[in-house]
């Protein structure tokens, strides 16, 4: 029966079963040759005790051949088994990353980046050690012990009994300390995740830490967590330090018993010197496997603890995925919200929203903070899922489209701009591997970022730094807009994408976007009336409900929220000119 704790590894072990078979064969050959050595030495001792040295050269040649053969097959064992563990680590890392890429946005809201990174690095290494050294040393121990045991019984069943008499003590030690190692290592890995998360947050928020003069406070907090990590690690080390000597002590007790009773057997002439020497050499050969047993227990408990942590990620299922019957479909761009209600964790955010955006038209959404604007547009690319039938594209429920085809047809600029630590060229061309220099330039021009890029010494090859740290807020937003435009999407969604640019740059971008928006459906969120006034229709969201809907002039005539917002911003502009 395959151990339950290792079942997640079964597909990988099956994939490399022939490699493990070859490694097992090498293990048998290595130890099969090794167990011959005590026999040869025993024969040599018997000849010497009879003052016969005629076969010494033969015995020396046999010992040399055994050493060479053992060395060759031991090398092959390590090369094959450790190599397979590296291959499985490679596969595991790829599968883990692929699975993480498939998980929904909500998963990353619930889990810290540092914790995920710790599992993808430290825990993965522990699993590799389980699949490589642990398997190799276990196989060596079993085969060598079985081979040595057979020869030891043939020499003296009584001495063999004395040899294994302390084993019940060893099994109790292994069972107790093995469980302790597993539990402590799990806690250590959880602590390592906390440290990784704190470090990651400090690196990402370096400017904020400095702005609030929190360097010393963060250093102290990090040091406190690091001390706790060291304290827990030292407790594990002490436990491991007790395990190996205890196992060696059990073998030492067996050695004392064998020397005491075996010596008497030799003196009484029941066992000759050669066979007794062979028996002692077999016991010495078992010394390393017994020590290795403690090492294997440590690797096994660490590996299973880490495998459990990795399996927690692999068991997570994406909340957003293709429904049965979903197909790749061409999208024209009509969007409809039909009686839409949506809740976060039981709290209603959107209430009975009914909106229709004809293909090729534009809809602007305004409203106070927390009114549900971002939530509404996030439902279009299925970042979150509404109830079936509440969001439609081209008259079809959105779940009838495959997620990939739906998102390929949407250019989305989220409220929080994210740029990769790469060249500006790659950030603009993200998702369009075939983009030409001309297409990249046209997209940058349409987003009014081309002049800024060309002013950089490296131009489009300039590195933007992690999360675009080398660019201003406005430059990051315009780069993100260019990234959305180069996809030539049927639907363009801008979630407050012009909030970090001044009004002059905003006018410039909007003039470019009017040409780009021709023939494609556009939804954009803004707090500025100047941004939304030329939209085909404007929706005002308040408390998760559409409270006003119409053109700019129609909403002004209502003399309600939108007109108040317009008058307030008009007054601000007049005061700014004074």
pLDDT of residue 576: 56
Choose between 500 and 361: higher pLDDT.
361
Split at pLDDT 50, 70, 90, the class of 499 is low
Q: What percent of the chain has pLDDT over 70?
A: 88
Which DSSP letter does residue 130 get?
I
Q: How does pLDDT run across 351-409, given as a tens digit for each residue?
A: 888 999 898 888 988 888 888 888 888 888 888 888 888 899 988 889 988 888 888 88
Residue appearing with tokens 């190996």? 244
What average pLDDT does the structure give for the chain?
Answer: 81
Q: How does pLDDT run across 91-116, given as a tens digit for each residue?
A: 988 888 888 888 877 787 787 777 78
With 80 as the cut, is the pLDDT of residue 215 above it? no
Split at pLDDT 50, 70, 90, the class of 175 is low
Q: How does pLDDT run across 273-322, given as a tens digit for each residue?
A: 777 788 878 877 777 776 667 677 777 877 888 888 888 888 888 888 88
- 237 plus 134 within the same structural domain: yes
- 558 plus 529 within the same structural domain: yes
Question: Is 128 a member of any domain?
Answer: yes
- 216 plus 340 within the same structural domain: no
Beta bridge partners of 121: none
- 66 plus 128 within the same structural domain: yes
- 27 plus 144 within the same structural domain: yes
- 134 plus 255 within the same structural domain: yes
Mean local confidence (pLDDT), 487-513: 75
With 70 as the cut, is the pLDDT of residue 416 above it? yes
Split at pLDDT 50, 70, 90, the class of 76 is very high
Neighbours of 153 (CB within 10 A): 13
Q: Which two tokens stand for residue 34?
A: 């090794």
Give the structural domain span for 363. 329-409+489-578
Q: Tell which of 459, 488, 517 closes a domain.
A: 488
Choose between 499 and 389: higher pLDDT.
389
- 503 plus 443 within the same structural domain: no
Q: Tell which of 437, 469, 488 closes a domain.
A: 488
The structural domain count of the chain equals 3
Question: Is 320 a member of any domain?
Answer: no
pLDDT of residue 573: 60
pLDDT of residue 25: 92
Question: Is 205 a member of any domain?
Answer: yes
Nearest alpha carbon to residue 240 among 286, 291, 193, 190: 291
pTM: 0.74
Count Cβ atoms within 10 A of the Cβ of residue 375 and give its class: 0-12 exposed, 13-18 middle, 19 or more buried: buried
- 505 plus 363 within the same structural domain: yes
With 70 as the cut, is the pLDDT of residue 501 above it? no
Which of 318-322, 344-348, 349-353, 560-564 has the highest mean predicted lDDT (pLDDT)? 349-353
Q: How does pLDDT run across 16-38, given as a tens digit for each residue?
A: 889 889 988 998 998 888 888 88
- 405 plus 550 within the same structural domain: yes
Choose between 61 and 207: higher pLDDT.
61
What are the Cα distances from residue 499, in Å, to 205, 446, 491, 524? 21, 17, 21, 12
Q: What element of type H or E holds 392?
A: strand 391-393
Terminal Cα distance for the chain, rounded: 83
- 482 plus 513 within the same structural domain: no
What are the Cα distances from residue 339, in Å, to 336, 365, 543? 10, 17, 15
pLDDT of residue 118: 77
- 482 plus 494 within the same structural domain: no
- 442 plus 467 within the same structural domain: yes
How many whole angstroms separate alpha carbon 88 and alpha carbon 85?
5
């Amino acid at each position: 029966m395959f151990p339950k704790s290792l079942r997640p590894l079964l597909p990988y072990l099956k994939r490399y079963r022939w490699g493990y078979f070859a490694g097992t064969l090498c293990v048998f050959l290595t130890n099969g040759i090794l167990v011959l050595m005590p026999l040869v030495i025993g024969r040599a001792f018997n000849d010497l005790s009879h003052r016969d040295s005629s076969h010494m050269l033969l015995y020396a040649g046999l010992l040399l051949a055994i050493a060479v053969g053992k060395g060759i097959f031991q090398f092959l064992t390590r090369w094959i088994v450790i190599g397979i563990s590296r291959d499985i680590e490679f596969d595991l890392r790829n599968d883990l990353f692929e699975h993480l890429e498939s998980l929904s946005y909500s998963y990353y809201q619930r889990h810290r980046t540092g914790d995920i990174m710790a599992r993808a690095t430290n825990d993965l290494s522990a699993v590799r050690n389980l699949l490589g050294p642990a398997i190799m040393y276990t196989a060596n121990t079993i085969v060598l012990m079985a081979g040595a045991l057979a020869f030891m019984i043939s020499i003296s069943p009584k001495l063999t009994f004395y040899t294994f008499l302390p084993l019940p003590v060893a099994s109790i030690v292994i069972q107790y300390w093995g469980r302790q190692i597993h539990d402590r290592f799990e806690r250590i890995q959880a602590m390592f995740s906390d440290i990784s998360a704190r470090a990651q947050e400090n690196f990402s928020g370096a400017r904020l830490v400095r702005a609030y003069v929190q360097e010393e406070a963060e250093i102290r907090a990090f040091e406190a967590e690091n001390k706790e990590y060291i304290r827990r690690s030292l407790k594990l080390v002490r436990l491991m330090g007790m395990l190996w000597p205890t196992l060696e002590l059990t073998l030492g007790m067996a050695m004392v018993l064998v020397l005491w009773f075996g010596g008497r057997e030799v003196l009484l002439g029941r066992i000759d010197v050669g066979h007794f020497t062979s028996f002692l050499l077999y016991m010495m050969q078992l010394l390393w496997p017994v020590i290795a047993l403690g090492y294997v227990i440590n690797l096994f408990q660490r590996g299973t603890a880490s495998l459990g942590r990795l399996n927690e990620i692999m068991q997570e299922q994406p909340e957003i995925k293709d429904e049965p019957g979903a197909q790749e479909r061409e999208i024209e761009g009509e969007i409809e919200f039909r009686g839409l209600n949506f809740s976060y964790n039981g709290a209603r955010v959107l209430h009975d929203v009914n909106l229709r955006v004809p293909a090729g038209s534009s809809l602007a959404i305004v409203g106070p903070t927390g009114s549900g604007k971002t939530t509404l547009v996030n439902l279009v690319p299925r970042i979150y899922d509404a109830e079936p039938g509440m969001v439609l594209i081209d008259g079809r429920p959105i779940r009838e489209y495959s997620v990939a085809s739906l998102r390929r047809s949407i250019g989305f600029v989220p409220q929080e701009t994210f740029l990769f630590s790469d060249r500006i060229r790659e950030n603009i061309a993200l998702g369009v591997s075939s983009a030409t220099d001309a297409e990249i330039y046209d997209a940058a021009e349409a987003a009014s970022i081309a002049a800024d890029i060309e002013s950089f010494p490296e131009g489009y090859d300039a590195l933007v730094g992690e999360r675009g740290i080398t660019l201003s807020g406005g430059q990051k937003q315009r780069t993100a807009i260019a990234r959305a435009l180069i996809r030539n999407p049927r639907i363009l969604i801008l979630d407050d994408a012009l909030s970090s640019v001044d009004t002059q740059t905003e006018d410039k971008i909007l003039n470019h976007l009017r040409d780009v928006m021709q023939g494609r459906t556009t939804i954009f969120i803004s707090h500025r009336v100047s941004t939304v006034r030329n939209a085909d229709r404007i929706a005002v969201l308040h408390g998760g409900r559409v409270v006003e809907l119409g053109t700019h002039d129609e909403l002004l005539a209502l003399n309600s929220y939108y007109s108040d917002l317009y008058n307030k911003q008009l007054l601000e502009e007049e005061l700014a000119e004074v």
